[in-house]
Amino acid sequence: MAKALGMRQAGYVDCAGGGQVIVRNGIAYIGHMRAPHGTTIVDVRDPKNPIVLAELSMPPGTHSHKVRIAGDIMVVNHEINNNDPNKPSPDYRGGVGIYNIADPRKPQLLNNWETGGQGVHRFDLDSRYAYLSSTADGYLAHIVLILDIENPAKPAEVSRWWMPGQWTAGGETPNWDKTAHRCHHPLRQGNRLYTSYWQAGFHILDIDDITKPKRISGLDWSPPYHCPTHTALPLPFEIRGRRYMVVADEDVYRSLDGVPAFLWMVDITDELHPVTVGSFQVEGLEDSPQPLATACHQPCEIVTGTEIPAAWFAHGLRMIDISNPHCLREAAYFVPDVPEGTDRVQSNDVTVDERGLLYLTDRRRGLTIIERL
């Protein structure tokens, strides 16, 4: 049974489990967690009666769980899915798919851009560039790769950035285990890329010269906390004359009795010295051992005010008031019904549309449309 405070359900799309969701002009674009489901495009102008317009598929052992829109261009990731027991073709190469969606009922493939290794995980997008978390030949795990899509039929790499130790083909040697330090995804604001880097915290990159990204600073709290850094989201406004960033860890890579993942507030007024000033956790999660994928995952990357919606895995959608960065509080929440055929809620991503409606994916099944009261 759904639980809510200050919110109510406005609609539901019964679909395969979703990774990311984006909504533009009444059309929802849903990236799915597992093949054969790739991307589903849904008309949600009437949230009570959603209509599927188009579906893209992916080959076995891969997925396309992230999606971004810029004008009439849709970009989706292509990645080998290590959680899928099926294996991809030996010659499969991940990357991104670039589509024209002037008619969302008939997406037209413009380019299937390929990279080396596993492919692209997550990314940001504007009208000129895609900012990718991408594997590349000769590098350990995912790095920052900036792709020029001014001509979407012929994208071209502009630059890349990586932590020293990742360029193994260049003789660098990592001082960490396996792929613990890797780019999760960059987010652009102005001439900066705010880049989460998994178990290496986050990095702030200067891209004033986009051909030569330069590191300004960063912050890493793993250890002592075990959950990796998932998202570094800069606010587009100041609070009380200071600049802040919302940082979300993902609730994985910990023991069952370990500290569940938090959402953090980081003061970046002095961007050379970012400092953590506040945090949020759903009340009671530290009182007893919790299974993985129970706590924090992903905030809404479209910031419209000082209430930040966040997908909180087994605890649905949490609306977090950040107006006092030193004392975050919960303003509202919505925990959907457990999806049919699953054993618990797994809220994965959340976005907001022009009407203020919220869209919450479950990584196992379904998209819930939610109204703030």
Identity of the residue numbered 286: E
d(C-alpha 266, C-alpha 244), whole Å = 6
- State the pLDDT confidence band at 177, using cuts at 50, 70 and 90: confident
Read off the pLDDT of each residue in 202-230 and give the average, rounded to a whole number: 96
Structure tokens at 105: 């009922």
CATH of the domain at 165: 2.130.10.10
Which pLDDT value is given to residue 136?
97
- Cross-strand pairs, 43: 27, 51
Q: Which residue has the higher pLDDT, 186 or 257?
A: 186
Give the number of other CB atoms < 10 A from CB of residue 16: 19
| In the predicted structure, residue 304 carries a pLDDT above the cut 80 | yes
Beta strands in 6-163 (DSSP E): 7-16, 18-24, 27-32, 37-43, 51-57, 62-63, 67-70, 73-80, 95-100, 108-114, 120-125, 129-134, 143-148, 156-161
Which pLDDT value is given to residue 174?
94
For residue 159, count CB atoms less than 10 angstroms from its CB and return exposed for 0-12, middle for 13-18, buried for 19 or more.
Answer: middle
Tell me the average pLDDT of the chain: 96
| In the predicted structure, residue 1 carries a pLDDT above the cut 80 | no
| In the predicted structure, residue 150 carries a pLDDT above the cut 90 | yes
DSSP 168: G
d(C-alpha 318, C-alpha 251), whole Å = 15
**What separation in angstroms does the CA of 224 have from each of 199, 200, 201, 251, 282?**
11, 12, 12, 14, 20
Read off the pLDDT of each residue in 196-201 and give the average, rounded to a whole number: 97
d(C-alpha 332, C-alpha 20), whole Å = 22
- State the pLDDT confidence band at 222, using cuts at 50, 70 and 90: confident
Which pLDDT value is given to residue 242?
98
H or E, element range at 366 = strand 365-372
Which pLDDT value is given to residue 178?
80
Taking only the tens place, the pLDDT of each residue in 71-94 is 999 999 999 999 999 999 999 999
What is the extent of the structural domain holding 65?
3-372
Q: How many domains does the chain have?
A: 1
Read off the pLDDT of each residue in 34-61 and give the average, rounded to a whole number: 98
Of 335, 332, 333, 343, which is closest to residue 365 (Cα–Cα)?
343
The fraction of the chain above a pLDDT of 90, given in percent, is 94
Read off the pLDDT of each residue in 41-53 and give the average, rounded to a whole number: 98
- State the pLDDT confidence band at 179, using cuts at 50, 70 and 90: confident
Taking only the tens place, the pLDDT of each residue in 22-40 is 999 999 999 999 999 999 9
Which pLDDT value is given to residue 247?
98
Read off the pLDDT of each residue in 122-146 and give the average, rounded to a whole number: 97
Kindly tell me the sign of the dihedral angle through the C-alpha atoms of 169, 171, 177, 183: negative
Taking only the tens place, the pLDDT of each residue in 152-166 is 999 999 999 999 999
- State the pLDDT confidence band at 185, using cuts at 50, 70 and 90: very high
Structure tokens at 347: 């809220």
Using CA atoms of 98, 207, 226, 311 in order, give the dihedral in degrees to the nearest 10: -50
Structure tokens at 263: 């959402």
- State the pLDDT confidence band at 20, using cuts at 50, 70 and 90: very high
Which pLDDT value is given to residue 365?
98
